[in-house]
Amino acid sequence: MRPILDGPGSAGVELVFLLAGLALAGALGAVARVALVRAVARLQARLQARIPARIPVRAPDRAQDRALTPAPVPQLPPAPHPFPAGTLTVNALGAFIAGGILGAGLGAGGVGWLLLAGFFGAFTTFSTWMVELRLRPPRAALIYLLATLLLGVGAAAAGMGLGSAIGLAG
């Protein structure tokens, strides 16, 4: 394990510390991911609850007016699969910060492993993205696919650029 961790100490002890650190970083990354995904989902639900009120009600029904009964307020059924904005957020944010860490030259050594493979590896997710794509209708899946490709890879590039700019300045 010499190339992974530099500094004094036996390789076996270093490996144990690395694995313990990875487990802790991964646990924190997973908890942070779930917390952010749920926060985004709550925000999404709150925004979506406001939308029906803003949609103009259909032209008034004359028969309803004469009957003096209030027209039923049109209620949009809840979307069965709301846009996975939470997964997109964690993946783009994680790619941006991971790119920044690499760009700033902090990706090597034990700390780099803990941050990149540990925390941000667990904070972002590929499997959820894939399964969410498969559970969506084709058009919505295509939009989600393109959005993640564009924002996720774009965020990694932006993060790397920013990280190297900071790294050069610092």
Q: How far is the CB of 132 from another protein (least distance, A)?
A: 9
CA distances from 78 to 45, 83, 120, 139 (A): 9, 12, 32, 18
Q: How far is the CB of 17 from another protein (least distance, A)?
A: 13
Q: What number of other Cβ atoms are within 10 A of residue 14's Cβ?
A: 18
Helix 11-54 and helix 85-103, axial crossing angle in degrees, nearest 10: 140
Given 46, 69, 127, 170, the residue binding another protein (CB under 8 A): 127
Q: How far is the CB of 155 from another protein (least distance, A)?
A: 7
| Region from 6-14, 49-57, 61-69, 118-126 binding another protein, contact rule CB under 8 A | 118-126
H or E stretch covering 31: helix 11-54
Using alpha carbons only, give the angle 40, 45, 47 rounded to the nearest 5 degrees: 95
Q: CA 116 to CA 74: how far, in whole Å?
A: 48
Q: How far is the CB of 13 from another protein (least distance, A)?
A: 15
Number of residues that bind another protein (CB under 8 A): 59
Q: How far is the CB of 169 from another protein (least distance, A)?
A: 21
Which 55-74 positions form the footprint of another protein (CB under 8 A)?
none
Nearer to another protein among residue 75 and residue 127 (C-beta): 127
Token pair in block for residue 146: 């393109």
Query: Using an 8 Å Cβ cutoff, are 134 and 141 in contact?
Result: yes
Given 102, 104, 136, 144, the residue binding another protein (CB under 8 A): 102
150 contributes a contact to another protein by CB under 8 A: no
Q: CA 83 to CA 44: how far, in whole Å?
A: 9
CA nearest to 24, candidates 113, 101, 86:
113
Residues that bind another protein (CB under 8 A): 1, 3-4, 19, 22-31, 33-34, 37-38, 41, 80, 82, 86-87, 91, 94-95, 97-99, 102, 113, 116-118, 120-131, 133-135, 145, 148-149, 152-153, 155-157, 159-160
